[in-house]
Amino acid sequence: MAETEIIVLDVAATGAAISELADVLVDCVEGGASVSFMLPFGRDDATRFFEKVIASVARDETVLLAAKLDGRIVGTVQLGLDMPPNQPHRAEIKKLLVHRSARNHGVGAALMARAEAEAKQRGRVLLVLDTAGSEAERLYVRGGWQRVGVISDYAMWPAGGFCDTTIFWKRV
């Protein structure tokens, strides 16, 4: 497999890539990822979600990163910068998504490394995230993230049923 290229998407680039981004999100939700959405979930739903992300990028509240393999977007992650005034040093990692066809090739790790670098560059030295997936948990632990704890029944799986959510933090 080719090397993963990680890029920062500005408003125009996000608009141009919205179809590919939507494909990744739909694939993840259909694959059972607990990332805020319930089934049925389709391209229109995913497009509407990324339209909101574009608005957040335009307000400098979000940094949107994409992973490309062979010229195609196969993953994405967001760095949430919209924090209260007493937390200018903090950011949130949101929606780490990797298309099932590109998993186990280092895409998630590459996205996380770049998100951490982007955070540090912006003076955000304390990062937090939450996850409901054991594969993602292994990725975060390997990346030096510290487990804070688990909240039972915090969210739901796309097909229904409650899931536990693990909270992580990392200083970069």
Q: What is the mean pLDDT of residues 105-119?
A: 98
pLDDT of 1 higher than 70: no
Query: 123-149: per-residue pLDDT in tens?
Result: 999 999 999 988 899 999 999 999 999
CA neighbor of 139 nearest in space, from 116, 119, 118? 116
CA neighbor of 154 nearest in space, from 136, 135, 127, 133? 133
What are the boundaries of each domain within the chain?
Answer: 5-127
The model's pTM: 0.97
Question: What amino acid occupies position 83?
Answer: M
Tokens at 39, concatenated? 């089934």
CA neighbor of 126 nearest in space, from 95, 109, 148, 111? 148
The phi, psi pair for 6, rounded to 5°, reads -105, 125
The sign of the torsion formed by the CA atoms of 50, 26, 18, 11 equals positive
Strand partners, 78: 64, 94
CATH class of 5-127: alpha beta
Owner of token pair 């390997």: 142
Q: What span, in angstroms and rounded, lies between the C-alpha atoms of 125 and 24?
A: 28
pLDDT of 119 higher than 70: yes
